[in-house]
Structure 1
Amino acid sequence: METKLEKKWTRAACAAALAIASTHANAQSSVTIFGLLDVGVTYISNMGGHSALQFKDGQNSPNIWGISGTEDLGNGWKTIFMLRDQIVIGTGSILAGQDLWSKTAYVGMTNDRYGSVTLGEQYDFMRDMVADSPAEISGHLYMYPGGMFTGLAIPGNPSGSFDWSRLTGTPIANSVRYESPRFGGFHFGAMYGFGNVAGSIGAGNASSFFTSYQRGTFSADAAYTTTKHLGTMGGPDVTIRNAAVGSRYTWGPVFMTALITTVRNVANGAAAAAYSTGAMYHLTPIWSFGLSYMYQKGNGQLENQHSNEVAGIADYALSKRTSVYAIGAWQRANDGAHANINGLLGPTAASSGPNQALFRIGLHTRF
């Protein structure tokens, strides 16, 4: 529950945002308020041995609102900034455990010829891999890798394995990020997050790298991220390594994509990989249908657990900004394991057996 101070700061931030957005911006600069909102009802077949019908928001996309802006400095240079946060529509609060602008807070410079540099709290390049990924065209949050491998024991993670791929966006604080312009279809980036630990430059730091290639309707990219988490209660530091390779292709009204993601906890040796593919068919400008498949596999440290999952979506556009949709997902884990579709959090989220299914009807809009 929000405290009075948190509510006061939230109201003040909203008022400031509206005031900024309402001021006149000349042809060389602009300030924009933007957001994504998603609400719906989800039926889960098995959570701890019981079915459940829940109001859940932020499943098709996170509930985001933010402010972005740019100022033309001349000679091709621009100042850019973004402030972005995640909210919970069901309670009208900021996402639990998060501070204001906890998702993104950066300022930087950009130039069409030299690229861009941004500084602050911002997503690493694993987040860039999610664009048009198999998860994004069908099950959304339910189809991101994660859920069953709690033995990964990722620090600061709600279940130890929720979104272990970092695809949904886990920001890195105190970071500097560079992205190049495109060179004949190629594009690359590098990022470094400072640990800010006295006496040790490498403690608590993070690094991320990205490269992509695009030609016509085909594109492919790869990303690698290392994050170092300081040990708690005198324990050892924990290093998590993530990597991903993906591709996508458009063939008329059909869009196809594939993605491989991996994770490794260097401290305990636990590692997992996910292999996913999917397709989206735009039947008309109003109707679209998506289907995807994902296979997850853990190593011996994770008892060789594995699962197969399929998901599908039917989306009907009410306007350019708003749509209604239906999502279905089913996961089958190996015998002896407990299915746990990503996005279902809490002590009783996992199924009591190897199967778990869900069905969701929702409304999604953006501004």
Structure 2
Amino acid sequence: MNYQGTGRKHRWATVPLACASLCMGATAAHAQSSVMLGGFLDEGVATYRDSGGARLYQMQDSAIFPTKLFFRGSEDMGGGLRANFSLDSMISLSTGGLDPQSRGAMFENSSWVGLSQTGIGSFRLGRQNDFAFDYYLLGGIDPATGIAGGMLNFRTGSFGADLLGVSGPAQIAGAVAGGPFAPITTNGQITGLGAINWDRVGGKRMSNAIKVVSEEYAGLSVGVMYSLGGTAGDFNNGAGKSAAINFRNGETRAAVVYTEQNYAPVNNGHSGIATLLAGARTRYAHFTVSGMYSEARNTHTGAKIYALAGGIGYDFSPAWNLGGAYTYENGNALLKNVVINQAALQLTYALSRRTSVYAAGVYQRTNGAYVAEIGNIVASGNIQSVFQLGMMHRF
């Protein structure tokens, strides 16, 4: 295997819903203005196995939900107008440092300031996640983070170089800094790119971004976002855009999200990866059901992959929850017609409103076009599994 860096009535199988309320607002006790420190911690011990007989035991950060530390601020200026800001850091509990995804940036996870007006909506400026993260991860539509397996159960694969359209050691190494995927290393040499989180649900930030979201009307809201490329005389170079339609009614949520981000390795920064997501979740009695379709397409080469995912969760009691999820991925000829089947199971026990323990397992099998990959760990064959015992806490 190759390492690449990496109240009890509030059940923790749907922890994104609970965390979303924590992440998006200040407490009622500070109605005029406030600055809040908060975060989410997820750490455990994981065991990876593959069809080649290899095993790996390691501490695993952010297996279910991203571990982060954030500062939120809000000032009430009267008449329903508020000024807001957010500064988020992805951290590693295993090392105490910044998460490798942050690439050394203190507030890589988000850093924005904006205004919101009651009855109209919000306006933000800065580095931000697109709507896939907002509605599918925080909103819990994704069967992975909403039902079972968490971030270990994201749509993933070892086909990142082909999806990005780069080949050969030099191009692949150059794409590590300017692209969205982590490197695959063999004997210390970069030989490929992993494509974990290729549909952006786990968070792919846009720098220099303008984001506008409407207020909800009859449960519906819309949002648009644009990321300025920042290249003088070349407006489209490195630019990005995202748009979404979101619906919410009680326990039912649905969203359609389209995002397009240009990357330096693709057509010299003038093309990139376009993603489309459509999905919904609902709750009936003790059951929670969710399903989604997602796809990613290279806007220059035409390389494309899509996924269908679904999950069912059941509350045995206010504290105990069991969830299962299944994902099917299929790539076109430029991705060697790859087929991936992935299944996840998660048992969660809520010790309190903020603290939970869990056992989660994910199994992946490919058709052999590419080796299996889970959680930025690349297998030596087409089958891989991971089992993790862990603990989550929010504050």
TM-score over 0.5 for the pair: yes
Residue ranges of structure 1 left out of the alignment (5+ in a row): 1-24
The equivalent of 2:211 in structure 1 is: 177
Q: What is the aligned counterpart of 2:143 among 134, 139, 154?
A: 134
| Aligned equivalents of 1:86, 1:47: Cα separation in 2 | 32
> Structure 1 stretches (4+) deviating beyond 3 angstroms?
234-238
Cα gap change, 1:165 to 1:336, in 2 (>3 Å): closer
The 1:217–1:365 alpha-carbon spacing in structure 2 relative to 1, beyond 3 Å, is: closer
Asked if 1:358 is matched to 2:386, the reply is yes
Is 1:111 aligned to residue 135 of structure 2? no
Residue aligned with 2:334, SS:
helix
Amino acid at match of 2:222: F
Q: Say if 1:126 and 1:336 are closer, same or farther in 2 by CA, change over 3 A.
A: closer
Pairing of 1:268-307 with structure 2 (within 5 A): 268-307=301-340
Q: Which amino acid aligns with 1:152?
A: L
Aligned to 2:390, what secondary structure does the other structure show? Answer: strand
- Tell me, in whole angstroms, the C-alpha distance in 2 between the residues paired with 1:104 and 1:236: 23
1:98 counterpart = 2:104: yes
8 Å contact from structure 1 (residues 113, 181) kept in 2: yes
Match of 1:193 among 227, 237, 258: 227
One-letter code of the match for 2:293?
I
What is residue 157 of structure 1 aligned with on the other side?
A: 181
Give, in angstroms, the shift of residue 217 of structure 1: 3.4
Deviates more, 1:63-72 or 1:198-207: 198-207
Match of 1:145 in 2: 155
Q: Write the deviation string for residues 279-329 of structure 1: whole angstroms up to 9, x where unpaired.
A: 111111111111100001111101101111110100011111011100011
- Give the RMSD, CA atoms, in angstroms: 1.8
Structure with larger RCO (C-alpha < 8 A, sep 6+): 2
1:29 to 33, 56, 60: 33
Unaligned runs of 5+ in 2: 1-28, 165-174, 183-192
Q: 1:94 is paired with a residue of what secondary structure?
A: coil
**Residue number in structure 1 paired with 2:284:** 251
Name the CA distance, whole Å, in 1 between partners of 2:30 and 2:42: 33
Matched letter for residue 85 of structure 2: F
Give the C-alpha shift of residue 338 in structure 1: 1.7
SS for the counterpart of 2:144 is: coil
**Shift of the alpha carbon at 1:268?**
2.5
Amino acid at match of 2:122: S
Report the counterpart of residue 354 of structure 2 in structure 1: 321
The corresponding residue for 2:128 is 122
The letter of the residue matching 1:189 is: G
For residues 210 and 287 of structure 2, the distance between their equivalents in structure 1, rounded to whole angstroms, comes to 37
CA contact (8 A) 2:236 2:270 kept: no
Q: Verify the 8 A CA contact 1:253 1:282 in the aligned structure 2.
A: yes
Q: Which structure shows the higher helix fraction?
A: 2
The residue number in structure 2 matching 1:240 is 273
Aligned equivalent of 1:333, options 363, 366, 377: 366
Shift of 1:146: 1.3
The answer to whether 1:207 aligns with 2:216 is: no
Q: Which amino acid aligns with 1:86?
A: M
C-alpha distance in 1 between matches for 2:123 and 2:62: 30
- Post-superposition offset of 1:219: 2.6
Structure 1 residues 80 and 50, CA, compared in 2 at 3 Å: closer, same or farther?
same
* 2: CA distance, partners of 1:109 / 1:79: 5
Q: Compared with structure 1, are the counterparts of its residues 30 and 244 closer, same or farther at alpha carbon in structure 2 (3 Å cutoff)? A: same
Query: Take 1:237 and 1:111, find their aligned partners in 2: how far apart are those partners?
Result: 35
**What is the aligned partner in structure 2 of residue 83 from structure 1?**
87
Contact 1:47 1:350 in 2 (8 A): no
Say how many residue pairs are matched.
337
Once structures 1 and 2 are overlaid, which stretch shifts more, 46-55 or 299-308?
Answer: 46-55
SS of residue matched to 1:83:
strand
Instruction: Report the alpha carbon displacement of residue 240 of structure 1 after superposing the two structures with TM.
Output: 1.0
How far apart, CA to CA, are the structure 2 residues paired with 1:196 and 1:109? 23
Structure 1: distance between partners of 2:368 and 2:206: 37
Shift of 1:47: 8.0
CA distance in 2, matches of 1:305, 1:317: 38
Q: Distance in 2 between matches of 1:32 and 1:228?
A: 34
Q: Deviations over 1:246-302 (max 9, x none)?
A: 011110111100011100112222110110000111111111111100001111101
Other-structure match for 1:220: 254
- CA distance, structure 1, for counterparts of residue 348 and residue 143 of structure 2: 15
Q: Which deviates the most, 45-54 or 264-273? A: 45-54
Tell me how far apart the structure 1 counterparts of residues 120 and 208 of structure 2 sit (CA, whole Å). 23
Give, in angstroms, the shift of residue 49 of structure 1. Answer: 4.7
The percent of aligned pairs where both chains have the same amino acid is 32
